[in-house]
Structure 1
């Protein structure tokens, strides 16, 4: 059985002191039976938050990574740096990285390979714009994103992989996909992975939903058979709402 992964993507929010205070408060609520919990603070807060989370089951992740181990790449952070800071996961290919920083499928593929090479678990984000959805191009676009990101990466290279379906039109807008629509896309992703790799691997890898996930809609979304957790944005910035989503995941998956 796939353990649901509830991940908080804080984006460009929280100072170091605010991040540490959040981690301390969340730590008091642990453990979270039947659910894996992950928080992804901004870079400056990674190491301080890792110290707070030491000895707990709460995982730490980064929001981005460079594909090289070191070099003249001003402003970038490498996989070894993330590992040294205490990260287990890294988000790759988020729509905001694609939109605002021009990340292409080729760049995302290089980052994915780098993460896997250093035993960081990638959370690969895919998703369509409202324009693409309205013209019926959702599946074609997501297949293209998956193919681009996983091109040249063999099954033997992937110890663990998480896919996050994040419809761009639902991120930070207050709109979210209907549970049945999110399930349809997540099922498509799993079928694609089964054809590309194997049904066994596809059945073991987790596929999240992200896009205005809140305590109010989490239970219905997470009750879907192919939604194995959530990549949470705004609602992950407050312990109360994030914890409510974690509880909803546990209940929805029968933990």
Structure 2
């Protein structure tokens, strides 16, 4: 087992709304999340929320006087040009985004994104002064416990290295470990598995000698009660549907404060 980091990074939690909400319900949700600003500050937790593209601007206005970070669900790898339907990282930065989620398993499955595509997007995000939230994870669950961790690390390694290879050595990065088989499941991946995988991934990043801050989140049916079981491996959580109830998001912040 690789050694634990000597200094744990600041806790962080956030959620992506994907395409679950319409315009009015998204803005109501952002209003509710904004009320957690004080709780997050008191808990010394970085809190972020990632709505859809259409609501980024009004969301930024609602979060302007809070310490909550605004994120975007994707970006294009070029700053400008004839790329119909894509969204420029320049525009995302101008609208107030500080985090950009890239490489989610759904993007890879539905739209054929590759590790190389994700790496180019990561470079574009950093180039424009934002932090890439790079989603990584293995596709299939191994039924042999002794092989599961090695298989997961082996599948995640090229995803991580592709992204890091395109970034400046001092760039900050967030890695969201989301086993594809756990996304949308009734329960998160087992704690022993997640801790072992993320500790190995942390050691893998450390071996590169990069100077930028790398924080690791767990996503995949995460909710209240998940973080305490995983805190020896991760810096926070990337929440999905459980965060649609803002009360659950508040509970996770409180759990991180206690840890």
- Please confirm whether the aligned pair reaches a TM-score higher than 0.5, indicating the same fold: yes
Q: Which residue of 2 aligns with 1:110?
A: 120
Q: Which residue of 1 aligns with 2:198?
A: 186
Task: Tell me, in whole angstroms, the C-alpha distance in 1 between the residues paired with 2:143 and 2:92.
Answer: 35
Contact residue 175 and residue 217 of structure 2 kept, 8 A: yes
**Residue 184 of structure 2 corresponds to residue 172 of structure 1:** yes
Task: Tell me, in whole angstroms, the C-alpha distance in 2 between the residues paired with 1:153 and 1:29.
Answer: 32
Does the C-alpha gap of structure 1 residues 154 and 88 become closer, same or farther in structure 2, counting only changes over 3 Å? closer
3-state SS in 2 of match to 1:193: helix
Task: Tell me, in whole angstroms, the C-alpha distance in 1 between the residues paired with 2:86 and 2:166.
Answer: 24
Does the C-alpha gap of structure 1 residues 104 and 133 become closer, same or farther in structure 2, counting only changes over 3 Å? farther
> Could you say what the CA RMSD is over the residues aligned between the two structures, in angstroms?
1.7
Structure 1 residue runs of 4+, over 6 Å off?
none
Residue 228 of structure 1: how far off its partner (Å):
0.3
Does the C-alpha gap of structure 1 residues 97 and 58 become closer, same or farther in structure 2, counting only changes over 3 Å? same
Pairing of 1:33-182 with structure 2 (within 5 A): 33=42, 34-131=44-141, 136=148, 137-156=151-170, 158=171, 160-182=172-194
5+ unaligned residues in a row in structure 1: which ranges?
none
Residue 237 of structure 1: how far off its partner (Å):
1.5
5+ unaligned residues in a row in structure 2: which ranges?
1-7
Contact residue 166 and residue 209 of structure 1 kept, 8 A: yes
Task: Tell me, in whole angstroms, the C-alpha distance in 1 between the residues paired with 2:129 and 2:143.
Answer: 34
Task: Tell me, in whole angstroms, the C-alpha distance in 1 between the residues paired with 2:99 and 2:142.
Answer: 29
Provide the TM-score with structure 2 as the length reference. Answer: 0.89
Does the C-alpha gap of structure 1 residues 173 and 196 become closer, same or farther in structure 2, counting only changes over 3 Å? same
Residue 131 of structure 1: how far off its partner (Å):
4.7
Residue 114 of structure 1: how far off its partner (Å):
0.3
Choose from 216, 223, 227 the match for 1:214: 223
Contact residue 19 and residue 45 of structure 1 kept, 8 A: yes
Task: Tell me, in whole angstroms, the C-alpha distance in 2 between the residues paired with 1:180 and 1:41.
Answer: 31
**Residue 19 of structure 2 corresponds to residue 5 of structure 1:** no
Residue 132 of structure 1: how far off its partner (Å):
6.1
Task: Tell me, in whole angstroms, the C-alpha distance in 1 between the residues paired with 2:103 and 2:168.
Answer: 19
Pairing of 1:227-246 with structure 2 (within 5 A): 227-246=234-253
Cα deviation code 1:92-133 (max 9, x no counterpart): 111111111100011011000000000111111110012567
Cα deviation code 1:175-230 (max 9, x no counterpart): 311222111111111111111124x65xx421111110111433323xx2231011
Contact residue 60 and residue 88 of structure 1 kept, 8 A: yes
Task: Tell me, in whole angstroms, the C-alpha distance in 1 between the residues paired with 2:142 and 2:168.
Answer: 29
Does the C-alpha gap of structure 1 residues 161 and 16 become closer, same or farther in structure 2, counting only changes over 3 Å? same
Contact residue 15 and residue 45 of structure 1 kept, 8 A: no
Cα deviation code 1:24-64 (max 9, x no counterpart): 12222321121110000011111111111111001100010
